[in-house]
Structure 1
Amino acid sequence: MRTAGSAGTCAMTDRSNASKETDVKAMPRLDQSDAARARGANLFLVATGTLSTAHLPFWLNWLSANRPRYKVTVGLTDSAEHFVSASALATMTGTPVVSNTWETASGRREPVHTRIAADYDGIIVFPASVAFLSGLASGAGTSPFFLAALGTAAPVVIAPSFPPGVAQNPIIADVLARLAGVPNYHLIEPQKGTSRSTGAETEVTAPLWDAIATFEAATTVAPDTETATATAPVNA
């Protein structure tokens, strides 16, 4: 199923006065047709260390209701493990959660990054912390998840989450512009929300359906842009 998009899609607006401008394309809308619901895909979903990661069980529940044939493997960064239970995610997806390390439980070192890069139809980073965005933009090869995203030809869909004020920093604008320049990377514009820690307005992670719609647009020749309302998740 893997066919990478010919050009990176960036729906991120430049929130600073930086000299670089990033192309803004219309956000694809989730296709809710019967044909779309019957699609299959093998996704690797990376969750990073942000509070939005605590909502991941809800989104996986939603995904199973709206894309029942999608197989999802979750990868948790070290910091993400503070926000969500790996055992709960494994139960919901039916696949073991992958840790961001080359060390296995038996002490062996495995080529985790090459398997992720080769075995999945797409990588979705949801949510993507500032640390993960910056590390990926710098080409850091310090972990399997960075190397997998750097080495794959499949679509890499990135849904950032920002603390208050961070998105307006020119350094972050440069980070986003660099990521947007990668042909198979697709940035999802965050939504306005409220910071739990300060109460200030900030940019929070977009809904997972935006990430799924973007992935499908990158792997489908003519995706449907007119959609119905997404099905609500079932009770776990």
Structure 2
Amino acid sequence: MKISTDSHIKKMPPGVLKLLAILFWIGIWELGASMVGNSLVLPSPWTTLTGVAGVVGEAGFFEDLGMTLIRVFGGIAVSVALGAVVGMLSGLNRVLYELMLPFVTVVRTLPVVSVSILINLWIKSGWVPLMVTFLVCFPITWTNVVEGIQNTSRNLLEMAALYHVPFKRVLKDIYLPTLKPYFASALMNVIGMGWRSTVTSEVLANALPSVGMNLYYAKVYLETETLFSWTLIVVICSFTLEKLTVWFLRKIKAGDDYGY
């Protein structure tokens, strides 16, 4: 019976299996909401979905979402760009690596709460989420790129040195192909981290307009349905951005399928 079941599962298209998994967890959510019987504690999926329509229809929705998107994209873009460049230089230069390592180690361990509060003392609240997102995502990119440089084939590098291959060719034909999967992995990780750190720091810094402050107001006024609705919107946006990134990586032939 087990062999027969496994055989049927393997024959299912991947999309159908993923859809069934999503429906399973929605069913668990619906069951939990039914058992609680109080939307103030746990709204049902349908109530949350209806709330999303209400939130989208509000006057300031697109301004709030737009500003959060700008902060997310800005923080991720700067962290990925600088992380890639400084990571490559650090991987190639031992002195720079040792110089950057303490900074990256400290920043990686700092709580988002502490960073948000400290930065809010120095700059305007609207800029805090962008800066926090950069500080959260930079170590991820830097670490992955450095690891990619360090794992580049020594045999290929020795051969290139033996035949006096110009550094530009070595960088293009040896280092960059090795870095592709490491960079892709970093990019996928910073997308999720970027959303979480941005929205969290928006709440802590009282950044307006923003998605984070809408979450905060919903919590203060005990509007649980609105809180769930905004949370679902964040999840949808993050998921969409992740899928667009995967499509982009494949479109530019950034390497093989990395399993995303």
- Normalising to structure 1: TM-score of the pair? 0.22
Which of the two has greater strand per residue?
A: 1
Greater C-alpha Rg: 2
Which of the two has greater helix per residue?
A: 2
- Normalising to structure 2: TM-score of the pair? 0.20
Q: Point out which structure has higher relative CO (alpha carbons under 8 A, 6+ apart).
A: 1
